[in-house]
């Protein structure tokens, strides 16, 4: 069996030890005679899986006791509606910081439920930087301030936690959650689709402060009411059981690697290796401002875009796949989440150097 280096933005690569353990347990989980896929979500076997998954996530992120951890469905796209319907709580407006495609999707959806104030935007600069905090025009009466901590498409990432005063800070962390330590207490709510750094598609993680539960929009479906989900320990309806199981294995793997401080060092090293090379060449271009460059998603372009197809074909032949950039921006994108080993980035840089030598 040959495993490729998978640079997909999501669904993304999973740690190989996790996949091997899941394969070994596929037909018989811990002597139960059942696959996790076949278990009742209310049976003692799956309850133990879900309980340990939540406990491990709490340990990794040091989640304070006054926050609920919810296992939900619908991805970040659904949370773009679910968050405002839960958190408006009598307020009329929401502040957004627009840093790219995923911010724009959140803004568009929120406009169905609230008055939206775009407090700052990176659009004028082509979404290549985070707007300086001093320039944000925040509404002190907003229900919350929403950011996207890492723009998967544009490769722009917050390397600071913005201070927004007493207004709750909400973050879509779909593409950089668990890549580094986070002070959860600085946020009112964090949400993340699982398919990048947590597990397979189908699971959504929500971490929400207790005082933000209750008084949702009257049209909010019960299955998406955070208080209802919390009161039922994420079992109000059938949760994505297998995705939770795989996420739990990923959380265990992360702990075995040394936790999030160790993952930060790992991710810094990978990103530095690629960005440092991009700084040495004019054959490739890295568009994002240096202080905002993502450790998770590295977009770059060939100076001569006519060579894109040949670059991608050669990369695939060398065992590196999913390097094509998002259709909205073109070029290339290397997604180097937690599961991408340093050897994968070394192989990519070596290939890029070789391709430049032969085509420059």
Residue 264 has pLDDT above 90, yes or no: yes
Whether the per-residue pLDDT at 327 is higher than 90: the answer is no
Share of the chain above pLDDT 70, in %: 100
- The pLDDT assigned to 1 comes to 67
Query: Looking at residues 49-57, what average pLDDT do you find?
Result: 98
Q: Are residues 106 and 177 in the same domain?
A: yes
The pLDDT tens digits of the residues spanning 206-261 come to 999 999 999 999 999 999 999 999 999 999 999 999 999 999 999 999 999 999 99
Peptide bond into 89 cis (omega under 30): no
- DSSP symbol at 185: G
The residue annotated as part of the active site, out of 95, 98, 172, 176, is 172
The residue-averaged pLDDT of 41-65 equals 97
> Could you tell me if 77 and 208 lie in one domain?
yes
3-state per-residue secondary structure call for 223-241: HHCHHHHHHCCCCCCCCCH
Q: Identify whether 196 is a catalytic site residue.
A: yes
Residue in 29, 95, 102, 295 annotated catalytic: 102
Cβ–Cβ < 8 Å for 144, 170 = yes
Sign for the CA dihedral angle at 231, 236, 241, 247 comes to negative
The reply to whether 164 falls in a domain is yes
For the stretch 145-185, pLDDT in tens is 999 999 999 999 999 999 999 999 999 999 999 999 999 99
Are residues 212 and 65 part of one domain?
Answer: yes
285 assigned to active site = no
| Residue 101: Cβ within 10 Å count | 17
Instruction: State whether 122 and 133 are in the same domain.
Output: yes
What does the mean pLDDT of the chain come to? 97
pLDDT for 69 equals 98
Across the range 196-203, mean pLDDT stands at 96
- Residue 4 domain flag: no
246 and 323 both lie in a single domain: no
Residue 358: the pLDDT is 95
Whether the CB-CB separation of 302 and 308 falls below 8 Å is answered with: yes
Give the whole-angstrom CA distance, residue 291 versus residue 188.
25
Q: Is residue 278 one of the residues assigned to a domain? A: yes
Structurally, how many domains does the chain consist of?
2
Q: Which of the listed residues 239, 256, 273 is the one where a domain comes to its end? A: 256
- What percent of the chain has pLDDT above 90? 98
6 forms beta bridges with: 321
Q: Is 29 a catalytic residue?
A: no
Residue from 104, 196, 270, 324 carrying the catalytic annotation: 196
Residues 111-121: tens digit of each pLDDT: 999 999 999 99
Q: The CATH number of the domain where 280 resides is what?
A: 3.90.1150.10
- pLDDT tens digit sequence for 58-79: 999 999 999 999 999 999 999 9
Q: Determine contact, residues 248/59, Cβ cutoff 8 Å.
A: no
């Amino acid at each position: 069996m040959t495993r490729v280096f998978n640079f997909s933005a999501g669904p993304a690569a999973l740690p190989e030890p996790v996949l091997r353990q899941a394969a070994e347990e596929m037909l018989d989980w811990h002597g139960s005679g059942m696959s996790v896929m076949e278990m009742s979500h209310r049976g003692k076997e799956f309850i133990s899986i879900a309980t340990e998954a939540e406990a491990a996530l709490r340990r990794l992120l040091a989640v304070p006791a006054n926050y609920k951890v919810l296992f939900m469905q619908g991805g970040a796209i659904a949370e773009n509606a679910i968050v405002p319907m839960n958190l408006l709580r009598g307020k009329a407006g929401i502040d957004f910081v627009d840093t790219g495609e995923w911010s724009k999707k959140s803004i568009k959806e929120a406009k169905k439920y609230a008055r939206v104030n775009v407090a700052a935007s990176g659009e004028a600069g082509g979404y290549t930087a985070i707007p300086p905090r001093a320039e944000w025009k925040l509404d002190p009466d907003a229900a919350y301030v929403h950011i996207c901590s890492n723009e998967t498409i544009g490769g722009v990432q917050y390397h600071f936690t913005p201070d927004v005063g007493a207004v709750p800070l909400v973050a879509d962390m779909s593409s950089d959650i668990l890549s580094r330590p986070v002070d959860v207490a600085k946020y009112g709510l964090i949400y993340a689709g699982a398919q990048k750094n947590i597990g397979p598609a189908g699971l959504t993680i929500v971490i929400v402060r207790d005082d933000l539960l209750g008084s949702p929009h009257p049209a909010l479906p019960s299955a998406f009411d955070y208080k209802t989900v919390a009161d039922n320990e994420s079992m109000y309806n059938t949760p994505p059981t297998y995705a939770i199981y795989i996420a739990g294995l990923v959380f265990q793997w992360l702990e075995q690697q040394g936790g999030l401080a160790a993952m930060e060092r790992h991710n810094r090293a990978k990103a530095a290796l690629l960005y440092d090379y991009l700084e040495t060449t004019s054959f490739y271009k890295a568009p994002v401002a240096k202080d905002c460059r993502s450790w998770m998603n590295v977009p770059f372009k060939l100076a001569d875009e006519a060579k894109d197809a040949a670059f991608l074909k050669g990369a695939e032949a060398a065992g590196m796949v999913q390097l094509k950039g998002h259709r909205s921006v073109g070029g290339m994108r290397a997604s180097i989440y937690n599961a991408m080993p340093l050897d994968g980035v070394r192989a990519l840089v070596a290939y890029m150097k070789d391709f430049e030598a032969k085509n420059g």
